[in-house]
Amino acid sequence: MPELSYPLWSSAPEPALLASRDRAGGELVFPALPPSSPLADRHETVAVDAVGEVYSYTVIHPSAKSGEAPYALGYVDLPGPVRIFGRLCGKPRPAIGERYAVRPDERFGYVFVAVQH
């Protein structure tokens, strides 16, 4: 995974995805702003809740030559609120409103995994 100029995960025993919260208005920005950003002083780095609901998604069907199976990409609304785009794993076809949890991933940095009821 390439080195990022901003923190993606907290260093807590249970890692949490990080975002930046505007100190004045409370709006969350993902990913967290790097310390070198001109806006960094106006924001604080905060952990976002790990579980949210699918807002929208699409299923990608890669070329047969790629050898990759179809996969879903979508937006997940996490409390805060913050809407994050990523790969949806754990089900062949997600549904709007289903609950997904964000998890670390070696290849993509993070993925969303279907929450079993």
Over residues 84-103, the pLDDT tens digits come to 999 999 998 999 999 999 99
39, 68: one domain: no
Residue 9 and residue 20: Cα distance in Å, rounded?
A: 12
Are both 25 and 60 inside the same structural domain? Answer: no
If one counts the domains in the chain, the total is: 2
**Rounded distance between C-alpha atoms, residue 5 and residue 76, angstroms:** 24
What pLDDT digit, counting tens, does each position of 47-80 carry? 999 999 999 999 999 999 999 999 999 999 999 8
Q: What is the DSSP letter of 93?
A: S
For 63-96, b/e burial (b = at least 16 CB within 10 A) is eeeeeeeeebebbbbbebebebebbbbbeeebee
End-of-domain residue from the set 48, 65, 87: 48
Q: Does 88 share its domain with 115?
A: yes
The pTM for the full model equals 0.88
The residue range of the domain holding 28 is: 1-48
